[in-house]
Amino acid sequence: MVDLGAYDESRPLDMHDLQFDLAAEKLGLEPWIAEKIKRPRRELTVRFPLRFDDGRIQLMEGHRVQHNTLRGPGKGGIRYHPRVDLDEVRALAGWMTWKCAVVDIPFGGAKGGVACDPTTMSAAERERLTRRYIWEISPLIGPEQDIPAPDVNTGPETMGWIVDTYSVFKGYTCNSVVTGKPLCIGGSLGRLKATSRGCIYVLEEAARHLGLELAGCRAVVQGFGNVGYHAAELLHEAGVKVVGLSNVQGALYNPAGIAPRAAKQHELSTGDLPSYAEAERLTNQELLELPCEVLIPAALEGQITRANAGRIKARIIVEGANGPTSPPADDILKDKGIFVVPDILANAGGVTVSYFEWVQNLQKLFWTEDDVNRRLREILTRAFAEVMAIAQRERTTMRTAAYMLAIERVAEAKRVRGIFP
């Protein structure tokens, strides 16, 4: 059994491995299969010089990890952040494998990232970085091989550059190489808000399970980017009072509620979210401990740890971010009776609509936004029910149940595919 007392919460890969071990042990998996599917299949580290606008040249380091491709091509976003390293990308790639398997879409898991601070870079510098990084990892990616998407500090603009770079090298337009693209080059309606919409769908299921009426509840959202902003906006539209918000600069609190769109406009026009006048200023740590019914961490890993889990007051946590809660914190939250919808289920809406985007690209046939949202709800509601059934049967948390479902699906793919040669 794993010793949680000595466990280091600052390493996402340790978190991934421990979450895997807890579920694999319960499944009684064949040891060789457990070992095979826990670790990444392929890893590529690339180093290349980047010319900055002022003439300076700096050596950059990036990675692409294909954690697993047993159920289909690798799938996973690209992150630009100073903290990116091979171990973080390995963890994020593993989480993609389990996420795709939990919602039962035909992808494996992959992830990429470059260690850089894009917030201090010009658009031209970010474009050069993207094109060169994609060229460097081009032996691994492709519509049937490994399909990148947005993650922290990347978005539709980055995906447009990737389509162009990959297409130039192929000699024809190949838009199915990434998802999360702008609509005019084959993006899908509904993709931009898909991760957040998925968070709301699973939140509705969790609230129904707990007998909680969402309208009138208070919500706190950490992170105000693609996932956090749209989640806050969708909660606000659903009549949930968004009392707390934050970005990397700091947090805002107003028990009477904050209008997310107005706060976003302030952030965009001033570049300083915490100076928004309609709310009190807090730190990100204080934000997580606010009184509320719903907490959506939608920033980075390692936010809820053994240091603060005991002070969390929410009734439901929906993990918009990947890896926001450490295993020791999970135990504390469980003892407090806080219902956690784990990342690999809670934020799977993004990859699910990425799957829809890929299908539309391959078929050259596009769906309406209503179609996308209806199919998304169907998939997430089914996955939530399957995870809940395992959690109840095994008397375990939603996280371990989600891992059990996902790991068994990947393990079964290995069993039926067998070993080459």
Question: Which positions are catalytic?
Answer: 111
CA dist., res. 22 & res. 6, Å (int): 16
Contact letters (x/-) for ligand NAD, 335-354, by CB under 6 A?
Answer: ------------x--x----
Could you tell me the two tokens for 139? 């032996």
Residue with Cβ nearer ligand NAD (24 or 180): 180
- 228 contacts ligand NAD (rule: CB under 6 A): yes
Among 294, 298, 309, 406, binds ligand NAD (CB under 6 A): 298
Window of 45-53, 58-66, 122-130, 244-252 that interacts with ligand NAD by CB under 6 A: 244-252
CA dist., res. 134 & res. 145, Å (int): 14
Backbone dihedral angles phi then psi of residue 39, each to the nearest 5 degrees: -95, 155
3-state class of 65 per DSSP? Answer: strand
Residues in the interface with ligand NAD (CB under 6 A) total 24
CA dist., res. 410 & res. 415, Å (int): 9
Residue with Cβ nearer ligand NAD (160 or 228): 228
Among 19, 68, 222, 373, binds ligand NAD (CB under 6 A): 222
Window of 21-29, 246-254, 371-379, 390-398 that interacts with ligand NAD by CB under 6 A: 246-254
Residue with Cβ nearer ligand NAD (193 or 315): 193
Residue with Cβ nearer ligand NAD (207 or 304): 304
Helical spans, DSSP H, in 81-213 = 86-102, 123-137, 156-170, 194-210
Binding to ligand NAD (CB under 6 A) within 178-207 occurs at 195
Among 15, 101, 152, 263, binds ligand NAD (CB under 6 A): 152
Window of 224-232, 330-338, 368-376, 394-402 that interacts with ligand NAD by CB under 6 A: 224-232
CA dist., res. 91 & res. 151, Å (int): 14
Could you tell me the two tokens for 23? 């579920």
- 289 contacts ligand NAD (rule: CB under 6 A): no
- 274 contacts ligand NAD (rule: CB under 6 A): no
- 292 contacts ligand NAD (rule: CB under 6 A): no
- 150 contacts ligand NAD (rule: CB under 6 A): yes
Collect all residues with Cβ–Cβ distance below 8 Å to 139 and sequence separation of at least 6: 44
Contact assessment for residue 298 and residue 223, using Cβ atoms and an 8 Å cutoff? yes
Least Cα distance to 195 among 126, 296, 276 occurs for 296
Which position has the token pair 């793919």? 413
Which position has the token pair 């998304």? 376
- What dihedral do alpha carbons 169, 172, 177, 183 form, nearest 10°? 130
Window of 140-148, 310-318, 319-327, 413-421 that interacts with ligand NAD by CB under 6 A: 319-327
Contact assessment for residue 234 and residue 202, using Cβ atoms and an 8 Å cutoff? no
Contact letters (x/-) for ligand NAD, 67-96, by CB under 6 A?
Answer: ------------------------------
Binding to ligand NAD (CB under 6 A) within 104-143 occurs at none
- What dihedral do alpha carbons 193, 196, 197, 201 form, nearest 10°? 170
Neighbours of 199 (CB within 10 A): 31
Binding site for ligand NAD (CB under 6 A): 150-153, 195, 222-228, 246-248, 284, 298-300, 320-322, 347, 350
